Amino acid sequence: AGAGAGAVAGDIALLTVTITLSDLGKLQSETDAARTAEAEALTAKEGAEQRAVDAEEAAAVRVAEAEAKATAAAKDTGGEINRLKGEIHQLKAANTQFTTDAGV
C-alpha cells in the first residue's frame, strides 16, 4: 500500500506540474494578446492625433484662403465705390455745365 500511495503522490505531483504549465501557457497567450491590443490602441491613438493635426492644418489653410478672398473682395468693393464716386462727380460736373450752358 505504501508503494501505491507513493505512485499516487507522484501522479498528483505530475498532474500539478502539467496544470501549472498549462496555466502558464494560457497566461502567456493572454499576456501576448494584451500586448497586441495595447500596441494596436497606441497605433490608433497616434493615427487619431495625426488626423487631428492634419485637420487643424487644413482648417488654418482654409481660414487663410477665406481671409485672402475677403480682403480681395473688400479691395474690389473699395475700387468700385471710388469708380462710382468718380462717375457721380462727372455727372454733377456735366449737370452743372449743362445748367450753365442752358442759362438756368
pLDDT digits (tens, 9 = 90+) for 59-74: 999 999 999 999 998 8
Mean pLDDT of the chain: 87
State pLDDT tens for residues 25-55: 899 999 999 999 999 999 999 999 999 999 9
Query: Which contacts of 73-77 are long-range, i.e. CB under 8 A and separated by 24 or more positions?
Result: none
pTM of the model: 0.49
- CA separation for the pair 34, 65 (Å, rounded): 46
**pLDDT at residue 58 above 70?**
yes
For residue 36, what pLDDT is reported?
Answer: 96
Between vectors from CA 53 to CA 51 and to CA 55, what angle results, nearest 5°?
A: 65
The single-letter DSSP state of residue 1 is -
